Amino acid sequence: MGQVLVDTSVVISSALGKDKSVQHLLVNLHVSGEKLCLARQTIYEFWSVATRPSASNGFDQSAAEAHGEVQRLLAAYEVLLDPNDLLDRWLSLCLTHDVKGRPSHDARIAALMDAYGIDRVASMDKRGFSRFPHLTVLVP
């Protein structure tokens, strides 16, 4: 029993409700006593997708609808605060693992996980976290 950070990709898939493997993973983790956590970054990223037009792979939700979804997320998960040294941890991971471009978002999640001593992440994107060998990616 411990903590698992739930990545934005899993939150989005869960919100869509179409991928039963995502629901299965989350339920199994919860039933087994794991504490499911989110980064604040995940809330921001979810809002971006939720309110983006469907023509751009978004949910096309109004601000009020997205707010309702965010409230559901806040009730369902523990949201981790950003520690004061998160920037330093992130920069160190980016330098150590030669992180450039979009993967820098995953590096920020990895830095947050390191700060909290979390070594497992539920994500649809195993490749995104594969550069961090100390993390275990749980793919639905």
Q: What is the pLDDT along the chain (140 residues), one digit of tens a residue?
A: 799 999 999 999 998 777 889 999 999 999 999 999 999 999 999 999 999 999 998 999 999 999 999 999 999 999 999 999 999 999 999 999 999 999 999 999 999 999 999 999 999 988 889 999 999 999 98
Query: What's the domain count of the chain?
Result: 1
- 129: domain range? 3-138
Classify burial at 54, counting beta carbons within 10 Å of its beta carbon; exposed 0-12, middle 13-18, buried 19 or more: exposed
Q: Confirm if 7 and 139 have CB atoms less than 8 A apart.
A: no
Q: Is the separation of the CB atoms in 86 and 104 below 8 Å? A: no
CATH of the domain at 40: 3.40.50.1010
